[in-house]
Amino acid sequence: MKTIAIANHKGGVGKTASTHALGAGLAQLGYRVLLVDVDPQSSLTNACGVKVPGESLAEVFGSSEPGKLTLADIIYDVGEEDKLPLHLAPSDIALATNEPGLINRYGRENILKNALATVATDYDVCLIDCPPSLGILTINALSAAQVVLIPTQPQIADMRGLQLFLDTLDAITKRGGINPHLKVLGVLVTFMDDRLLHHRDALKVMTDSGFPLLQTQVGRSVKVAEAAASGSSIITYDPSNRQAENYLALAKEVDTWLRKERR
């Protein structure tokens, strides 16, 4: 199983929508996909139509003591209605109350990595939706992943946050860091609007600065929010929507990487 963390320090850049739609796109391509929500705000969990789960990652992670459940105990089938091999390990606000206790745990950076290892043969790819911070939950995701996908808006204000996050990844991957093998899959430009001059200018600056931009760009659409409210991804909610097509193109980019990894 290959694991991709979808992360950025900054909130509001489309991490959750991108995780959900990319997961649905990869499932349409035939991959067995596990979505993991490590954000205590539970945005991905809600977007998948799972409301207030009785058991979540909070019971897997535990706090100062290990959790009582395994990852397999909490997984939901969220692709059954669309006949897709898509599953979710949900989050809950309880994960936020657990987080301070995790600081005192031995091997705290590898709790999620160890949990994922128990279901690794059941899935081809795992996508982790991270909170907009660099707390212990995000560190767990970056420790467990082989690559990180970084959504960002095409705005000058967002570029500083992007650079800070890339600097953080350098610290994580340096020799002796928590995951020296972690690589950047690419930067996904979200909410792109070619009509806006500052979007075009920001994109040019990112390109000229050598940021590892993915070929796919995703625009803004109210249908993406409608899809989340209905418990669906934009790919299954409105397949003809332009952003659904863009996310499917992203899935094909990731498919290319996955195929290379198999060689």
What are 67-97's pLDDT values in tens digits? 999 999 999 999 988 899 999 999 999 999 9
Write out the two tokens for 227.
Answer: 């899809």
3-state helix, strand, coil in the chain (%, to 5): 45, 15, 35
- State the chain's mean pLDDT as an integer: 93
165-198 b/e with 16+ CB inside 10 Å = b?
beebbeebbeeeebbeebeebbbbbbbbeeeeee
Bridge pairing between strands 86-89 and 33-37: parallel
From 74, 81, 179, select the one nearest 116 (Cα to Cα).
74
Instruction: Write down the pLDDT at residue 16.
Output: 96
pLDDT confidence band for 103 (50 / 70 / 90)? confident
Query: pLDDT-derived band of residue 161, with 50, 70 and 90 as boundaries?
Result: confident
**Range 139-145 average pLDDT:** 96
Q: pLDDT tens digits for 196-210? A: 889 988 888 889 888
Distance between CA atoms of residues 112 and 232, nearest Å? 25
- Do β-strands 2-6 and 147-152 pair in parallel, antiparallel, or remain unpaired? parallel
pLDDT at 183: 95
Angle, to 10 degrees, between the axis of helix 136-144 and the axis of helix 156-173? 60
pLDDT in tens, 1-57: 999 999 998 888 999 999 999 999 999 999 999 999 999 999 999 999 998 777 999
Return the closest-CA partner of residue 31 out of 117, 124, 120.
124
